[in-house]
Chain A
Amino acid sequence: MSLTIETRAAGTTTPAIAPALRVRDLVTEFRGRYGAVRAVDGVSFTVPRGSVLAVIGESGSGKSAMLRSIIGINPPTTLVTGEISVGGRDLQTMSPRDRRTARGSDVSMVFQDPLTALDPVYTVEKQLVEAIRKHHEGLDKAQARQRALELLELVRIPSAAARLKAYPSELSGGMRQRVVIAMAIAGRPTVLLADEPTTALDVTVQARMMRLFRQIQRDIDMGLVIVTHDLGVAAELADEVAVMYAGRFVEHGTATQVLTRPSHPYTEGLIEANVRAGQDRRPNAIPGAPPSLDQLPPGCAFAPRCRYAVSACWDVRPITQLVGDGHSSSCLLAS
């Protein structure tokens, strides 16, 4: 396997053999002394190559737990069930050794904080070369160094050769985040998972970082799953948007469907809580706070905060139903 960074010519399409990522009935349970907590509760979705899924929701909705389950970095007391296929290969049925190899080359992840994701005592080059040689064992140091340079150019770091010699502290937040992305794509993953990748960045840097994600994703034709609490990031970057609440996808559709014609009251609440440019009207806060996952109500988990809730919502857990072409919603009142 070699790491060639070929740019896909405009207009050509790759034959759709297997989606970049296919997740079926994913359940993540954290088991502790006082019982189990279900952080992810039966999530299913598919991300084609070259496509972006944004998962939005408040903190504690299970977004990060879902990403960590997909890449397989949960603590050992975690139980993960369901199908997780990357490029047609089911990660769940692999041996731990194969799973380790898959990490980075099939599925890779970018974390929120670009400062703590890099080791402050090693240069960018040292850290990149380590990542590259991990995935391409045949490469000697000089070749790996060349790849490192190519990767920095791929993430559009100016004067890349000079930056290789830099320590993380010598780079700005945006540059560090680019190095982290370069490391994550060193193994040319089929799917890249990104957990709040732009949250720690300034708005000016964020705007470019989003375009960069898009560009890289096209360059190496990978699927991208981005977890964010910022609806602006989802609107800017995503093909599809899924809304997560209490461990479930409560709404899923194209970015336009979900963000401009929301069907679930929670999605509507999230959108209305945002202050838009030039808004004078008071933002509509969603009352209350997300439920504690070990004390979920028997019915709809959002019912206690929902302004449309009727008595049935408290008793019946809503099933997911189609409300439009490829647009699904888990609300009793959705039709």
Chain B
Amino acid sequence: MADLLELIDISKTFDVRSGGRRATLSAVDHVSLTVRPGTTLGIVGESGCGKSTLARVIVGLHLADDGELVFDGKQMLTGKRRTPGELKQMQMVFQDPSSALNPRATISESIAFPLQVQGASKSVIAERVATVMRDVGLPAAYASRYPHQLSGGQRQRVNIARALALQPKLVVLDEAVSALDKSIQAQVLNLLSDLQDEYGLTYVFISHDLNVVRYLSDDVAVMYLGQVVEQGSAQQLYDEPKHPYTQLLLSSVPTLDPAESTRDEPVDTADSTEIPSPIDPPSGCRFRTRCPFATDLCAQVVPVPIQVGEGRTVACHLYTTP
């Protein structure tokens, strides 16, 4: 089946001031990704790796500097504001369920807003609001309530309902479950997979929680300092991580079994957790300053993503040099 979303060589930089001087921050650097319809692409990486910027470029909240975006067989300009017709096909759910809602709008007003923007009639709006509220498991009585009267989990259901109101094909979930307690997070995760099954939704799911990403995603892309260093099916990537950064990420996830605790291992003093600044990223491979396998080559040549299996790419010299 044709891909629903194809990103080709997307780059996004920001002009910033660093120490009083003008500088360029490379937030997303030549990222190419594809998302198949009805599936979930997970994006993982540390804070500052560009995953949220990429999410915003996808839905058109940021204009990309360079690159192409093909959605549902049609090319969308990444450097130009989207038309309402384009916007309604993609929606986004943000991390903080509280600040994403207008505190002075009722739940139904919040959910109705994107429909109003699109010029839907009153009767269509009322019907759609009732439908999506039921879909996300919000009692109809909540329609006239205000966000402060709801719990965090319920507020995130409102945000999901609002994203679904326009019947989008693609929903970008940017850390959408991260601010919730684990007990509530599980409710929202289950809701997301039920909605996907029911409406054939396609998700781009961004999270720093590696276990949750694996659970929800069909394919996963690992980002480091604006670049995709490895991608592949969730199962392959987690079972057999190839890039040293993916390996580092996966080995850092604590287990729930006290017997597997590593707390008594020595703390090494080497500064290998420090992420270099995206304002002045390392030459060659951006990960080389933290990589245990780095060689001279890594400082000189930027590794290009190479195919290492069905739908699986990795950008690392360990796999390009014999």
Query: Chain A interface (Cβ within 8 Å of chain B)?
Result: 58-59, 156, 158, 172-175, 202-208, 210-212, 214-215, 229-233, 235-238, 254-256, 259-260, 269-271, 273-280, 282-287, 289
Q: Is the CB of A271 within 8 A of B256?
A: yes
CA distance A175 to B151 in the complex (A): 34
Q: Across the two chains, which residue of chain B brings its CB closest to A218?
A: B264
Q: What are 5 A-B residue pairs whose CB atoms fall within 8 Å in the complex? A: A203-B210, A215-B266, A235-B260, A256-B258, A275-B215
The B248-266 residues at the A interface (CB cut-off 8 A) are 248-249, 251-266
Name the residue of chain A whose CB is nearest to the CB of B46: A202
Q: In the assembly, what is the distance between CA of A59 and CA of B256, in Å?
A: 20
Contact of B182 among A229, A255, A259, A287 (CB under 8 A): A229
The residues in B between 193 and 217 inclusive whose CB is less than 8 angstroms from any CB of A are 193, 208-212, 214-215
Cβ contact of A231, chosen from B47, B208, B256, B271, cutoff 8 A: B256
Residues of A within 8 A of B1 (CB): none
State which of B151, B185, B252 has its C-beta within 8 Å of the C-beta of A273: B185
Q: Taking A158-B270, A214-B264, A275-B186 as contacts, is the C-beta distance between A232 and B253 under 8 angstroms?
A: yes
Known A212-B267, A279-B211; contact A235-B256, beta-carbon cutoff 8 A? yes
Check if A58 sits within 8 Å of B254, measured CB to CB.
no
**CB-based contact A235/B153 at 8 Å:** no
Determine the distance from Cα of A173 to Cα of B274 in the docked complex, in whole angstroms: 9
Q: How far is the CB of A293 from chain B (nearest CB, A)?
A: 14
How many whole Å from A21's CB to the nearest CB in chain B? 20
- Please judge, given known A-B contacts A259-B256, A277-B253, A289-B184, whether A208 and B267 are in contact too, CB under 8 Å: yes
A172-B274, A173-B47, A204-B248 given as contacts; is B267 within 8 A of A260 (CB)?
no
Q: Would you give the shortest CB distance from B219 to chain A, in whole angstroms?
A: 16
Contact across chains for A207 and B267 when beta carbons are under 8 A apart: no
Q: Does B193 lie within 8 Å of A282, measured CB to CB?
A: yes
Q: How far is the CA of A238 from the CA of B184 in the complex (A)?
A: 24
Query: Size class of B's contact patch?
Result: 35 or more
What is the interface of chain B, defined by CB distance below 8 A to chain A? 46-47, 151-153, 181-187, 189-190, 193, 208-212, 214-215, 238-239, 248-249, 251-267, 269-271, 273-275
Q: Are B189 and A283 in contact (CB under 8 A)?
A: yes
Q: Which A residues are CB-close (under 8 A) to B256?
A: 231-232, 235, 259, 271, 274, 276
Quick one: which of A210, A229, A289 contacts B153, CB cutoff 8 A?
Answer: A289
Residue in chain A with minimal CB distance to B251: A207
Residues on B with C-beta less than 8 A from A158 are 269-271
A232→B254 contact, CB < 8 A: yes
- The answer, among B181, B189, B208, B238, for a CB contact under 8 Å with A278, is B238
Q: Which residue of B lies closest to A258 (CB)?
A: B258
Q: Which chain B residues lie closer than 8 Å to A254 at the CB level?
A: 258
State in angstroms the CA–CA spacing of A284 and B190 once bound together: 9
Give the chain B neighbours of A286 by CB distance below 8 A: 183-184, 186
* Beta-carbon contact of B183 and A58 below 8 Å: yes
Contact B252 A203 (CB under 8 A): yes
With CB as the reference atom, state the residue of chain A lying closest to B248: A204
A237-B261 CB under 8 A given contacts A172-B275, A202-B46, A203-B210: yes
- A285 in contact with B258 given A277-B214, A277-B253 (CB within 8 Å): no
CA distance A229 to B270 in the complex (A): 29
**Distance between Cα atoms of A287 and B152 in the complex (Å):** 14
Complex Cα spacing A284 to B186, Å: 6
- Other A-B pairs beyond A158-B270, A210-B263, A270-B183, 7, CB < 8 Å: A58-B181, A204-B252, A232-B253, A235-B255, A235-B258, A236-B263, A277-B238
Contact check, A277 vs B181: say whether CB atoms are below 8 A apart. Answer: no
**Known interface pairs A208-B267, A232-B253, A277-B238; A283-B186 also in contact (CB < 8 Å):** yes
Query: Known contacts A275-B215, A278-B214, A282-B193; is A229 also within 8 Å of B267 by CB?
Result: no
B271 engages A238 (CB within 8 Å): no
Q: Which of B186, B265, B273 contacts A285 (CB 8 A)?
A: B186
Nearest-neighbour CB distance to chain B for A276, whole angstroms, equals 6
Residues of A within 8 A of B257 (CB): 235, 259-260
Chain B, Cβ-Cβ closest to A207: B252
CA distance in complex: A209, B25 (Å): 28
Cα distance A203–B238 when bound, in Å?
Answer: 16
Known: A204-B252, A270-B183, A271-B256. A282 touches B238 (CB 8 A): no
Contact check, A229 vs B181: say whether CB atoms are below 8 A apart.
Answer: yes
State in angstroms the CA–CA spacing of A285 and B275 once bound together.
35
Closest Cβ neighbor of A281 among chain B residues: B215
Q: What residues of A have a CB within 8 angstroms of the CB of B269 in the complex? A: 156, 158
Query: What is the chain B residue whose CB lies nearest that of A155?
Result: B267
CB pair B187–A285 under 8 Å, yes or no, is: yes
CA distance A282 to B185 in the complex (A): 12
Are A208 and B273 closer than 8 Å at their CB atoms? yes
CB contacts (< 8 Å) of B210 on chain A: these are: 203, 277
